[in-house]
Amino acid sequence: MKYDATLYKLAHLRYITIVKTVYNQEKLVMKNKILLLAIIGIIFSCNKDENTINPTPENPELLILPIVVHIIHGGENIGQGSNLSTERIKEQIRSLNDDFRRKKGTLGENNSPISDDSFIQFKLTEVTPNGNPTNGITRINYFENIPDKDVNDRPHDWLPKIAYWNPEKYINVWVYGGFPQDQLLGLATIPTTNLPGLEAPLQALGDGIMINALHFGKSDMDSGANLGKTLTHEMGHFLGLFHVWGRYEGKGCQQQDDHIQDTAPVAGPIDNCDNPPLACDGKIAPVNNYMNITYDKCLNVFTKEQIKRMRYVLENAARRKNLTSSNTIDR
Ligand SMILES: [Zn+2]
């Protein structure tokens, strides 16, 4: 089965096919590419899969993963425009941890009986590939490092030409300011392992997560994606989760499958978190699930089965399992 490794999160303008970069006015013609790559070429089963993952134990091992954040900015001073402040970056990592740890009193809290603390968390790395101390943030002026790229290249093919640390030791997160608000929010590559849907090798030059700088961290921007949940969503993909409707959107109830038992089946994104509709099985649709696409304020749930799948990936998958023991952070 051949399919592309790139996934996407697009909020409410999912069908925009042309993205202008604000940096040099060039047009990055997506031509349905990023939109369709995520949904082409996979055959869905009508049934939920046999799940071979063992249950998560009562007190699972805490898995801490190193992140390097590459700020690919347009030449602004630190704290201005796409050259996001160090505090905003640190706040985004805190919020990512709040979500993954279902921390009380934060936007990651929920009281869903099918949710749990994942015991997965993240830390900005403390050591560069050369062994020097770092705060886990690199800042690179795009104009001084314009990569050799074709207009049809995907971000995961050219971002690594600007900055890329060993993906066996670091989760590379590129924060790129060249996309407009509310269009392309983020992208992530998926892991390779024996779980359904994850069998293919990496199909991009770089392994990691790209986040539109406008949607990285909290801001007062007038957008449904201004609370830092895009990174949580993309991290879900990076650790092996699909959208709650699977990889095909709008195919009806019979063709969806996210390979997760405890997410009620839906045919596509669910917008209304105040009055969620019913799912295909008559249960409440999983509108609050991080792997749904809707307003950030609605999102606060990873289910137990999703957590099991992510932990399985971290224990078994190529390009993921070494992250849990990477010596680039103090544990
Ligand atoms: Zn997505």
Model confidence at 145, in pLDDT bands (50, 70, 90)? very high
pLDDT in tens, 223-252: 999 999 999 999 999 999 999 999 877 767
Q: Which residue has the higher pLDDT, 12 or 191?
A: 191
Report the SS3 class of residue 95: helix
Is residue 331 predicted with pLDDT exceeding 80?
yes
**What is the chain's alpha carbon radius of gyration, rounded to the nearest angstrom?**
19
Percent of the chain with pLDDT over 70: 83
| pLDDT score of 57 | 74
**Whole-number mean pLDDT of the chain?**
85
Which architecture, in CATH terms, is 6-47+63-325? 3-Layer(aba) Sandwich (3.40)
Q: Which residues pair with 171 in a beta bridge?
A: 67
Q: Across residues 189-209, what is the average pLDDT?
A: 96
**Dist. CA 131 → ligand 1 center (Å):** 34
**Dist. CA 258 → ligand 1 center (Å):** 12
Q: Range with the lowest mean pLDDT among 12-16, 53-57, 124-128, 141-145? A: 12-16
Q: What angle do CA 109, 188, 88 make, to 5 degrees?
A: 55
**Dist. CA 251 → ligand 1 center (Å):** 17
| pLDDT score of 113 | 96
Report the SS3 class of residue 93: helix
Is residue 7 predicted with pLDDT exceeding 50?
no
**Dist. CA 58 → ligand 1 center (Å):** 29
Structural domain spans, the chain: 6-47+63-325
Taking ligand 1, which is a single-atom ion, which protein residues have CB atoms under 5 Å away? 9
**Dist. CA 323 → ligand 1 center (Å):** 22
CB of 280 within 8 A of CB of 291? no
Q: Across residues 72-100, what is the average pLDDT?
A: 98
**Dist. CA 234 → ligand 1 center (Å):** 6
Residue 236 CA, distance from chain mean position = 5
**Dist. CA 36 → ligand 1 center (Å):** 12
> Exposure string (b/e) for 208-242, b if CB count within 10 Å is 16 or more?
bbbbbbbbbbeeeeebbbbbbbbbbbbbbbbbbbb
pLDDT in tens, 269-313: 998 899 999 999 999 999 999 999 999 999 999 999 999 999 999
Structure token digits, residue 139: 């800042």
The pairing of beta strand 171-176 with beta strand 63-73: parallel
**Dist. CA 236 → ligand 1 center (Å):** 8
**Dist. CA 243 → ligand 1 center (Å):** 6
**Dist. CA 187 → ligand 1 center (Å):** 7
Q: Which residue has the higher pLDDT, 184 or 30?
A: 184
Q: Range with the lowest mean pLDDT among 96-105, 111-120, 208-217, 267-276? A: 267-276
Is residue 169 predicted with pLDDT exceeding 80?
yes
CA distance 65 to 187: 19
Structure token digits, residue 56: 């998560």
CA distance 328 to 67: 9
Is residue 106 predicted with pLDDT exceeding 70?
yes
**Dist. CA 13 → ligand 1 center (Å):** 13
pTM for the structure as a whole: 0.85
Give the DSSP H/E element, type plus range, for residue 175: strand 171-176
| pLDDT score of 55 | 66
Q: Which residues pair with 58 in a beta bridge?
A: none
Model confidence at 253, in pLDDT bands (50, 70, 90)? confident
pLDDT in tens, 25-66: 222 323 223 332 332 222 222 233 444 577 677 789 999 999
> Exposure string (b/e) for 161-173, b if CB count within 10 Å is 16 or more?
ebbbbebebbbbb
User: Which residues make Cβ contacts (< 8 Å) with residue 106, sequence separation at least 6?
Assistant: 95, 98, 99
**Dist. CA 237 → ligand 1 center (Å):** 7
Residue 23 CA, distance from chain mean position = 24
